[in-house]
Amino acid sequence: MQQKNFFLLIFLILIQVSFSQVRTIKELDANWKFQKGDFENAFQVGFDDSKWENVTIPHDWAIYGPFDKEIDKQDVAIVQNGENIASEKTGRTGALPHIGSAWYRNKFTLSYYEKNKKVILLFEGAMSEPQIYLNGKKVGAWAYGYSYFYFDVSEFIKEGENTLAVKLTNKEFASRWYPGAGLYRKVSVIVKNKESINQWGTFITTPFISKEVSKVNIKSKTSGENVRLVTAIYDADGQKISSEEATTQFGNEFDQNIKVQNPKLWSPETPYLYKAVSQLFVGSELKDEVSTHFGIRDIKYEANKGFSLNGEVRKFKGVCLHHDLGPLGTAINNAALRRQLTILKDMGCDAIRSSHNMPSFEQLELCDEMGFMFLAESFDEWAKPKVKNGYNRFFEAYAEKDIVNLVQATRNHPSIVMWSSGNEVPDQWGEEGVKRAKWLQDIFHREDPTRPVTVGMDQVNATMESGFGALLDVPGLNYRLHLYEEAFKKFPQGFILGSETASTVSSRGIYKFPVVQEKNKQYDDLQCSSYDLEACSWSNVPDEDFVLQDDKPWVIGEFVWTGFDYLGEPTPYDESWPSRSSYFGISDLAGLPKDRFYLYRSRWNTADETLHVLPHWNWEGREGETTPVFVYTSYNSAELFVNGKSMGIQKKNASTAQNRYRLMWMDVKYDPGTLKVVAFDDEGNPVAEKEIHTAEKPYKIILNPDRKTIKADGKDLSFVEVSVVDKNGIPCPTATNQLKFKVKGEGMYRAACNGDATSLEQFHLPTMKLFSGKLVVLVQSTNQSGNIELSVTSNGLKSGKLNLNSHK
C-alpha cells in the first residue's frame, strides 16, 4: 500500500511539473545593473558593468534627487492654465534629475526553456523611449513611457545565460508633471509552446445578465494547428461552476458562451470576482493554460438618465490620480497602491481616473478586488504639442499601437467602465481635431465594443461649435461649470461627465487669515490655506461642483483633481522656488488627509459618521482675533463651544454653495483651550461630538503604522504615521521638529515624506522635519521573516519605538 501511494505521489508530481512547463512567467526583478549616462557598447554581451549600481525592478532612478531648480526650469506660457505670456517656471516636473539617458542590464537563465518554444519579453512601463537588446542584438524599440508592450524574442533567446540590455532616454520639456525615470514597472519573460493562447488574446464579456443566469462570452485568439480549447469558470472560493470545450475556430479565435447560474454581480460595494481558466490542447496533450479574473456586471449610459451599474443609476464619486507614489516616485508598489485605495475607500470614493496615462496592471487588479470603477486614460497629447518633446512626436506612428495594447491588456478588468482617448488636447480646435477624435474613438470601439469613450475637454466652446464634443460617447468637461447647461443642450448624448473637477488648492494644516474665497492667492511661505476656499483662475472650490452633481440628474458624476498630491506642477507657485509638488490633492504627498478629505467624506461616505473640525487651536499671538471655525460633517447641524461658551448652532442651508455643505462660524475669536462641536440628528438630538485642545510644547513622538505585519518579500511596506504630542498627550499641530529614523532587524528604512510641497529634503535619507506636526516613514521588509524595530528620535523629545514583524 505504501509503495502504491509512493508511485501515485511521484505521478502527481510529474503531472504538476509537466503542467508548470506549459507556460512559465519569470519576473525579472533582481540582479539588475544600472548606470545613468550613454554607453556606446552597453548592449553587448561582454560589456563590463561590474562597477554599475545594483538595483531591483521596478526602479525610478530620479526619485533619489537631489531637488534642483535648474533641472526643469522653463520659460513658457501654460496654455492649459489660460496663460498668454511666457514666464519662468520652476518645479514643473518635480525638480528631480529625470532628464538624460540610462542603461539597465540583466543576466538571466530560463529553467524550462527548450528549443522551438515561444518566448515573450513583456515590459509594463519604461520611461522612456526604450531600446531593447537581447544577447547583443536589438529586439525592438518603443516610444511612449506609459505604454505596455512586448516582443516575441524566440529567435534571440538561447539556452543558458541570456543578457538583456535596455536603454532609456528622457528628454527635457517632455512632460507637464514628474514622469519618473527608468524601468518603473515590471519586466517579465514568458515561455510557452508555439501552440498557445496569444498574449492578451483572451476577451471576456457578460452580454446577458439576469438574477437567474448570466451569459459569459469568452473570445480567445490562439496560435497553432488542430487545437481545442477547454475553459472552466471558478467562483471566488475556487469552486468550479461551469465549463465548455470548443473545437471550431473563427479565423484564429475561439468563441465560447458559458452559463453562470445565480451570478454574483461586481460593483464597488460587492466586488465579486470569478476566474476563467482556459486550457489549450492538441489531442490529449495540454499545450497552454491561462487564468483570467473577471466580474459579471452591466453598464449603461443613457440620455436623460445617466450612468447605471447593474440596473441602478448612480453618479461617479471619483478622483484623478497621477502615477507617482510620492516618496517612492513612479516605481510601482502594491502596498503603496493598496494604501492609497484604502484611504480613498474610507472617503467614500468609488471611481478612479488614470491621469493622464495608462494605469498599471497592479492598480487595476486592486480596483477589481477592492471595488473602484475606473476611467482608463491614454494620452495627454495628440498631434498638437503642449510641451516641445511630448507625445506629439509619436502620435502618428504609435497612437493606434498604444491604444490596442492598452485595451487588449486591460479589457477584462470589470473595474474599467470607460476609456479616455485624451485630456485637454490642443486638437480640440478645428476639423482636423474632430477627425482625430473620431479615429481614436473608432479604434477603442474596434478593440472593445462594450465600453464608451470620453475626452477631457477644456475648450468647451470650441467643441460645441466644431462637433468634437457631439461625436464622443461621453462628453467630459474639465471645469467650465458655467458652460454645463449650454453643453447639455448642444450635445446630443443627454448627459455630461465632470471628467476633471475642482482643482482646489490647500496645504495640510496651514490656515490663512482673513478667511475669504479667492483665486490664485499666494503667500510668502508658498503654502495654500486649508480652509478650502482657494482655487486657480480656471478652477473652483468643491461646493460648486457639489451643487451641479446634486441638482442636475444629467450630470453623471465627477473626477476630482486630485485624490493625492503629486510631484511636479506646483500651481499656484510654479514661478516660486522651492515649490516642487502639487497643492491639489485631497490628501497630501505623504497620503495624509487634508481637511478637504472630510468635506468629500461627509458627502460620499454615507455609511459612516463624519465630524471634522478646523482649524487647529494653537494660535499663539492671535488671542482675541477672528479665527473662523468650519465643521465638515455628515450631520446637518451642530453647536460650537469655545471653552464651554456656545458660539451658536449652525445649520446647512442653500443660501450659498458653502453654507449648503459646510457648517461655518465666521466670527469666532481665538481663545486658547478647548474647541468643542456637538452634532445633531434631524430631530435635533445630540448624536456626536468632537473636541480640539490647545497643545503645550512638543514632548513625545508617537508612531502609528497602517500595518504591523508585512510580507517578507523584500517589497512590502508599512506606512508609519509619525506625530508629536505634549506632556498631556495632546497632538502638536504646528510642530516642525527635525526627526531621525533607524530600522533594525528584518526590515529597512525606505523613505519618508512630510507633505510639504516646498521641502527639499530627500525622501531616502533617514531624517526629515515634521510638517504641521506630522510625517510618514516607510519601512520595507527584507526577504527574511522576523522582527523589525523602527526608532524615531529628535533632540529634546521622548523618542518613539515601534515593533513590526514580517513573514513569508
Q: Which residues are catalytic?
A: 424, 500
In the DSSP assignment, the letter for residue 144 is -
Q: Cell digits for 408?
A: 487588449
Indicate the length of the chain as a whole number: 808
Report the alpha-carbon distance of residue 277 to residue 299 in Å, rounded: 25
> Which is nearest to 566 in space by CA: 545, 583, 547?
583
Count of H-run helices and E-run strands, the chain: 11, 48
**CA distances for 425 relative to 356, 385, 437, 458, 460, angstroms:** 11, 8, 10, 8, 12
Burial (0-12, 13-18, 19+ Cβ within 10 Å), 124? buried
The residue behind cell 473595474 is: 415
> Are 199 and 407 contacting, i.e. CB atoms less than 8 angstroms apart?
no
Q: Please, what is the Cα angle at 717 between 713 and 723, to 5 degrees?
A: 155
Report the alpha-carbon distance of residue 57 to residue 331 in Å, rounded: 8
Per-residue three-class SS string for 620-638: CCCCCCECCEEEEECCCEE
In the DSSP assignment, the letter for residue 50 is T
The residue behind cell 458627502 is: 603
The residue behind cell 440628474 is: 553
| Backbone φ/ψ region at 112: left (φ over 0), alpha (ψ -120 to 50), beta | alpha
Report the alpha-carbon distance of residue 685 to residue 687 in Å, rounded: 6
Query: Which strands sit side by side in the sheet containing 312-313, from one edge to the other?
Result: 299-302, 306-309, 312-313
Q: How many CA atoms lie within 13 A of 552 on its CB side?
A: 24
Strand segments, DSSP code E, in 382-533 are: 416-423, 453-457, 474-478, 496-502, 518-519
Angle of helix 430-447 relative to helix 395-410, nearest 10 degrees, comes to: 30
Task: Name residue 74's beta-bridge partners.
Answer: 89
Q: Cell digits for 567?
A: 510631484
> Which is nearest to 553 in space by CA: 304, 365, 245, 369?
304
> Are 269 and 244 contacting, i.e. CB atoms less than 8 angstroms apart?
no
Q: Cell digits for 143?
A: 516610444
CB atoms within 10 A of CB 54: 10
Report the alpha-carbon distance of residue 97 to residue 100 in Å, rounded: 8
Whether omega before 128 lies within 30 degrees of 0, making that bond cis, reads yes
In the DSSP assignment, the letter for residue 669 is B
Report the alpha-carbon distance of residue 166 to residue 182 in Å, rounded: 10
In the DSSP assignment, the letter for residue 263 is P
**Bridging pattern class, strands 474-478 and 453-457:** parallel
Q: Please, what is the Cα angle at 500 between 442 and 452, to 5 degrees?
A: 25
Report the alpha-carbon distance of residue 349 to residue 342 in Å, rounded: 10
The residue behind cell 508530481 is: 13
